[in-house]
Amino acid sequence: MRKFKTESKKLLDLMINSIYTNREIFLRELVSNASDAIDKLYLKSLTDSSVQVDQANLAINVAFDKDARTITVSDNGIGMTADELEKNLGTIAHSGSEEFKAANAEAQGDAVDIIGRFGVGFYSAFMVAREVSVISRAYGSDECNRWTSDGVEGYTIEPVSADDPAYRSEPGTSVIMALKENAEEANYDEFLSEWKLRELIRRYSNYVRYPVQMLVTKSREKEKPADAGDDYKPEWEDYTELETINSMTPIWKKRGSEVTDEEYAEFYKSTFHDWVDPARTFSLHAEGTLEYDALLFIPGQASFDLYSRDYEKGLELYSSNVLIMEKCADLLPDYYNFVRGVVDSADVSLNISRETLQQTRQLQAMARRIEKKITGELESMRDNDREAYEKFFENFGRGLKYGIYSSYGMKKDELAGLLLFWSAREQKMVTLQEYVAAMADGQKAIYYAAGDDRERLAKMPVVEAVLAKGYDVLLATQDVDEFCFQAMRDFTAKGLPKTYEDDAAREAAEKAVADGAEPEVEDRTVELKNVTSGDLDLASDEEKKEAEEATKANEGLFDAMKDALEGQVEKVAVSTRLAADGAPAVITSEGPLSLEMEKVLAAGPEAGEAPKAVRVLEVNAKHPVFEKLRAAQEAGDAEKVKLYAGLLYNQALLVEGILPEDPVAFATQVCELM
């Protein structure tokens, strides 16, 4: 027996027990090696006219023997001599494929794609096998040799005589694995079944360019005997047939004209276990320093676990048609976590087990290009198929908003244009770009109201007041909306018709357009404002003056109301946002924390420590209730002032969708008034 070197033994032990984490990938590695061996022979035939290869007969065979507890992977590729067995299998981490690829770099083309890189994939067989035998005959040689090892101490290499049943009469290699005995932590018998081997081939090696064949058991009805009577019952028999398990040609490598929408949809549903056709299918083909193909899908509906902690994002990653990772999370940003698809590149840098992708500039470049492609497709859907986009946004819009919030607004330039909100004036979903384009003259901000119900928001006094001014209000009903807007702060609308400061400039521009010039456009940045937060600056100078005078004249009343509310509000003031026939009072907030954000945080896991908004009670000085308050104050009826203050405050809270802190006390106050 030839001994493994000490460092090789350590590496082999590390590789079998640590590098690979999923034992079932052994078949992927051996099939990939077999594909490489066939590729080498095919390339040799392209460069050496004496080498004749019948491409139609090139194939990989997988077989199992349940009684002997063996699995065999065979190919009719280039094969190995005894020296090559020593060199390639006796030295851990020596890659014959990588060496061959480097030596034949110029000769390789689209017809040949060597998969192997590191020379350790073969040893993954020892995760399931107690002993591995490799029987190989090199092309052009009459010698056949056997390499055998238990993966512990060393290996043997010996010739195989022509009268030995294991002798190969044709060039190629057979890898025979004698499986380990079952243990408490592992059931190796599962690999000795037709369905399991078929599953592994289809999962990991479905798109290897050569047929992966296996004898499969099928059933058929026996021929009816000629002398069978009328009471004859059909009989069935089992038979075996050599079947190609893999599909070989990946759908993402085909031209778009060669694939129908139905075929794309079927691939999507079967691969990603969905029963609804994708809302959008698109592909990406990159050439140059980094080459890869991508086939991406936007699902037609959100998966049930999309917003759960257990959901895993990621695209299937292939290297030369061999599945490397089922979910490569690094290829998708979190806000596009709903996208499904496959990416295939022979250029990605893999670690030696192929199970973990190294963080490289190549990966980052692919991720950036994929993200840009997804954004472009969503913009196209938004502009050209609005109905489909609104359905998409209903399913996945929350994630886009969260992408802006979680990036502290850094991603607003990429994502803000994709957002949709309900327009109180237009009574439909609109983009922020559409909102700004339709803004009234003199409007300085995008106004929105945040809450949990569109109908309730539309009836809020502050919303009605803004609409009365001729300004639209966006009704935001998801819990992330307010946080998204706070992170954005403002929005820049692109390519809007240019506005002119004076009539002369406008007339000159109009004349230029009439003479054939292109209309001038500009980008316009507008602030986002919650209608319940701060000063909206919608009142005229006269209205502001009236409010200031009324506040000053009733300073004593407002101080008494604030005291009566016992610290629940920061101040009481006259409102400039309520119409004379509007609500008697409204709750607003000052500072960055709005009432809606307070509600969302209060519903979270740390509700007891959630911060409170700085509340302001704004009263309508033109409402009849205000006169009742003044009369009570002037009469010195402190109890009535306290009663009215509590009623107005709790009523305003209810309009905001917030329950009074003491509902019993509120009910008692109503009864007292009655």
Give binding residues for ATP as ranges. 29, 33, 75, 80, 88, 95-96, 173, 354
Residue 254 backbone dihedrals phi, psi, to 5 degrees: -80, 155
Bridge partner list, 215: 242
CA–CA separation, 323 vs 203, rounded Å? 7
**Any idea what DSSP says for residue 110?**
T
CA–CA separation, 313 vs 487, rounded Å? 24
* Inter-CA distances, 251 with 200, 329, 357, 358, Å: 19, 22, 23, 26
Bridge partner list, 65: 70
Apex CA 223: angle with CA 220 and CA 227, to 5°?
150
| Non-local CB neighbours of 584 within 8 Å, separated by 6+ positions | 619, 620, 623, 624, 625, 626, 648, 651
CA–CA separation, 569 vs 49, rounded Å? 92
Q: Is 141 exposed, middle or buried (0-12, 13-18, 19+ CB in 10 A)?
A: middle
**Secondary structure (3-state) at 445:** strand
Report the number of secondary-structure helices (H) and strands (E) in the chain. Answer: 20, 23
CA–CA separation, 298 vs 278, rounded Å? 6
Task: Please name the helix (run of DSSP H) or strand (run of DSSP E) that holds residue 293, with its range, or none.
Answer: strand 292-298
Please name the residue ranges forming H helices in 473-590.
481-488, 503-514, 541-553, 555-564
| Non-local CB neighbours of 395 within 8 Å, separated by 6+ positions | 299, 301, 302, 338
CA–CA separation, 24 vs 16, rounded Å? 12
* Inter-CA distances, 368 with 296, 297, 376, Å: 14, 17, 12
> Sign of the CA dihedral 269, 273, 278, 280?
negative
* Inter-CA distances, 28 with 208, 353, 491, Å: 10, 11, 50
Phi-psi region of 124 (alpha: psi -120 to 50; beta: other; left: phi over 0): alpha
DSSP states along 376-429: HHHHHHHHH-HHHHHHHHHHHHHHHHHHHHHTTTTTHHHHGGG-EEEETTTTEE
> Sign of the CA dihedral 570, 573, 575, 581?
positive
* Inter-CA distances, 523 with 58, 277, 489, 492, Å: 61, 38, 16, 6
Q: Token pair of 388, please?
A: 């489909």
Task: Please name the helix (run of DSSP H) or strand (run of DSSP E) that holds residue 572, with its range, or none.
Answer: strand 571-574
